[in-house]
Amino acid sequence: MRSSETTELGLSLGDRLLIIVGAPVLATPLGFALPSITDWADDRPWLPLPGPLAAIAELEGRWVALALGGAGLVLGLLGGLLLVHQCLRVTLSDKDIRVDKGDRSRRIPRADVGAAFVDGKRLVILDPETRELIREEFEGKRSTLAEGFRAHGYPWHQDGDPHADLYRRWVPDTPDIPPAANALLKARESALKKKHKDDITELHTEIQKLGIVIRDEPPKQYWRPLVPH
């Protein structure tokens, strides 16, 4: 959505409404049908029910379906709202870029933006020394990113990462990078395997401080040096 001074990018209004309305529309009939499903499964000893579903199968009366249908409506609505809230929102102006995802928000001054592009499904913003400032999945239409960034004069790379050819796969004790970076990459490899998101993000930041940029293709890590403009 474009105003006179800003451009907002992300899920379109139609997509947001589809999620917010569609989730309860799907969840409500499932709630209504759940007592019938559990009754059917309860009559088949070879199909054991988990504890909560077994408890539902013991309940009788039309109120059970009504209550579960109402619960499906409420949970579906809340789930749809939460899903929309977690989607990436980008607000562009001529002076800065604001990126919001869930409860996290970040502003990037124009002078700190060296390049922007799409890598797969992710929006990537680099600083002038080619460190990654943002790498987040963008759920909206990718064509709107190019239009928006160019409209505000930001350096947009339509063909993707301009430094993609510099990445090399990291292996333990790679001789071309400092020992400290190797140690952090080894720790990060362990965090990737264990899916510890906070450690993955924190170690990524620490590695970039040592002049190494990381790109993940789980469970592999690829690295390149900084390429200052």
pLDDT at 38 over 80: no
State percent of the chain over pLDDT 70. 87
Question: What value does the mean pLDDT of the chain take?
Answer: 89
Rounded to an integer, the average pLDDT of 67-77 is: 86
Number of helices and strands (H, E) in the chain? 6, 10
- Cα separation, 125 vs 136, in Å, equals 9
Q: What is the pLDDT of residue 147?
A: 95
What is the tens place of the pLDDT at every residue in 166-224?
999 999 999 999 999 999 999 999 999 999 999 999 999 999 999 999 999 888 999 99
Q: What is the pLDDT of residue 71?
A: 85
Q: What is the pLDDT of residue 24?
A: 87
- Judging by beta carbons within 10 Å of its beta carbon (0-12, 13-18, 19+), is residue 211 exposed, middle or buried? middle
pTM to 2 decimal places: 0.83
- Cα separation, 41 vs 52, in Å, equals 13
